A and B are shown apart, each in its own frame.
Chain A
């Protein structure tokens, strides 16, 4: 079965879009690559080399579809340790070795290594990495370079640095600190401002543009030297010739030493965990819901790491933030990864000298922000809602990682998890007796649906057995997952099962989990229960002023008002707008049984993992006859013309040149759309306010801005919807 998306023609058709998204991604990859390399105390260009090598090799040989590869956040801590203990050239050797191990893991089909780590322990490890990055770069961001022994010491120094900054006398340092703070502000507020022109250029690139512009302003207009202290500017970026002549020779002298191999193991472990988590998360974002070949990707990443190590680059991993940006900008196949690498080459060839105009403090602000994202209080809060015991695992991993090292940290997390499981079940033999048993039974029932029964226990220790069975089911099928013979199900499993449920739902299948209530009654595992509890609802009596007003609006339009959060968002699944977004819940709903209109506030997220952005918005959904073809209607702007260049087609309506000029209309079936857009409908759109309108099998989706609407806007939206519905029904 070859679909349009996988065929060659489809590939060529999608090329312009991928070129565009590759460009956007490269705009982030450049500053981030420089920053990540500098944070690991490697030469800044190493990060860019990593991204280029990774992009080229993984796009050709990889097994995933919309991922971007390059230098990773998680590895900063490990590479830093390796460089300080081994030295730079021996670190390159360690990177090469870890690449070789990754290739071997790929061939042994052990790409699923990360499945054996409990999710709270991984969260703890990532948070620790985030703190290591944040702790170290925070000082540089404020123009106060210090050297300490461990990650914790850096964190403890933060108050001192703040005091030092306030007392700065040196103007150069003050400018440096201000540049850092402004950059941090750009990173923080960028995602809050939902403006499509602003969003076209990623935040890190804005920082680059602003700081390069600032430098030119001083040079050309004020004719004065850049006021930022020379110590806090990016040290020389070599040009292409220098890069080629200066390729470092990896130093394999330390191959016999223990510290070398512990670095290799740490590099491999973190590289594979970060890549796997990212691949898994990005698969959820893929518009076409393809399944990545993890082992093939691991092999490609390993090979890319080997090459990168020889060329003076770092470990190549799959990175979540850049991949999310790729998906959001229309990347649909591996060519976007390749284009991102090629654009980086172009940047280095053309602008390598301009890059030295970027202040170091600005670059480090990007890292401080990514570090914060990894270790943000939200992570802790989320884990706490799952269960207190998860918090113990989380902090155990976090502290051991900070104090001792990454490998010890993850081992501590594993042990803590296992001990907690034993304490909760008070049954050691349950685990020891049954760990090697093939405890998962799957069979196909006569009606074609699958039945999976799990015995004894199901935790991170043996989840791969269940996972293998789930992987072997095409996602369009119905599955019943029965835990009633199971004595214990842990949080990692519940979380993964939940992910699979989402995946199946999106592809038209379904996983029904049964038998957990039995477990709950025995109260042996609170984690399982937590996931199944209905949504925590706000107390209905405690309405905000807006909610009271919404109630009044509902009366005006003869609708009923329901302020409670609801997970039921199936009616949104078919809209293109939500293809790359994940609906968390809808709330403040205005609806009625006999009315086709349904207005609601919605919380959804874009991107996954640390690149996750939560957006709240108000939307209107109108049920229409199924004869209405699928289309998207937007106000035509600069961006849409740009999109048109990147391969999105605008459908023109005859005799309405003005409409075609002002609106951007697209859809698969141009003929049906043209018949739908009668003079009356065109006139209606022309004479009313602009809305983003989307049609699918389930009806029309109408909204104006990606934020919660005011009461006045809601009234206008509802009125617009009611009138639009009348006209469409007439057509």
Chain B
């Protein structure tokens, strides 16, 4: 029995040019997953604001969308984080700019802070649009991590509901695991043998994870497994970009320290150069 479900989807809304696109995307997703949509606005409630939101939501209301408007003033990060917990939001949608400013990174943008601290899954949209753009190819990480099983499951759940064609599970293998350095023909042969062994090992592991996924979710999807030797967290983003994936599904990061931000790794790489829409599964 599949336990994954996004019962409640939350989105933080402000009056930006992207407002309509953001609301449309969120509403569409809520319909897809048959979940309730909560619009969180940081600021005082007012008739005018509510009307604007309702205007954008009305086409979806006709299709049976359940939604709620939520107004609260305060620090944007705090408000959004507390309200997601209050309202038991399972999936928080954040519209992101594709390239963030270089200096912003060190100061920490709102979106980034929320992503790091959120206790629910987060979906970062790089290109919210008013019209629906189909999601065809999903890339999901297959790291050796306890969270991976859940993440891969979620990827299939999302893929199934969004009608994706293909899911690629990417196993990133750290270059350091290849113990032989390539110097000449002999060491090259050795390192390739080790690599082949690692690939088989990883593929077997991923296969085990895939076996746990209910058939209902996998039957319409082409499944591919792709081992990559490279920097963790970075190469999967690069791969998603090269493979023209529409959605990248990743494990949520473990604890963050100051050093992790200074020397970015794993998810931080993805946050600096969002390759595509990213879903971070908690």
Contacts and interface: CB of A to CB of B under 8 A. Distances in A.
Interface of A: 1, 63, 109, 290-296, 429, 433, 437-444, 446, 451, 453, 455, 468, 471-472, 474, 482, 485
B227 interface: yes
A441 B242 contact: yes
A446 B185 CA distance: 24
A77 B182 CA distance: 34
CB-CB nearest 4 A-B residue pairs: A438-B231, A293-B184, A441-B238, A293-B183
Contacts of A451: 242
A438 B242 contact: no
Given A429-B102, A437-B234, A441-B230, A474 B188 contact: yes
B184 A109 contact: no
A291 B185 contact: yes
Nearest to A437: B234
Contact of B188 (A291, A429, A453): A291
Contacts of B187: 293
**Which of A63, A292, A443, A455 has most chain B Cβ within 10 Å?**
A443
B239 A296 contact: no
Given A444-B199, A444-B227, A455-B238, 12 more contacts: A291-B184, A293-B183, A429-B102, A437-B269, A438-B231, A438-B234, A441-B230, A443-B228, A453-B238, A455-B241, A471-B188, A472-B182
Nearest to B230: A441
B interface bracket (residues with beta carbon within 8 Å of A): 20 to 34
A295 B182 contact: no
28 contacts: A1-B189, A63-B183, A63-B184, A109-B181, A290-B184, A291-B185, A293-B183, A295-B183, A433-B102, A437-B234, A438-B230, A438-B231, A438-B235, A439-B238, A441-B238, A441-B239, A441-B242, A442-B229, A442-B230, A443-B226, A443-B227, A446-B224, A451-B242, A468-B182, A471-B182, A471-B188, A474-B189, A485-B238
B230 A290 contact: no
A469 to B, nearest CB: 9
Nearest to A433: B102
B191 interface: yes
Contacts of B181: 109
Contacts of A293: 183-184, 187
A63 B183 CA distance: 9
Contacts of B242: 441, 451, 453, 482, 485
A453 B234 CA distance: 13
A419 B230 CA distance: 30
A643 B227 CA distance: 52
A85 B191 CA distance: 48
Nearest to B231: A438
Interface string B213-249: 0000000000010111111001100110110000000
A2 to B, nearest CB: 10
Contacts of B182: 468, 471-472
B229 A290 contact: no
Contacts of A437: 234, 269
Contacts of B52: none
Contacts of A442: 228-230
B241 A472 contact: no
Contacts of B224: 446
A582 B224 CA distance: 43
A462 B185 CA distance: 24
A443 B226 CA distance: 8
Contacts of B14: none
A330 to B, nearest CB: 21
A495 to B, nearest CB: 21
A633 to B, nearest CB: 33
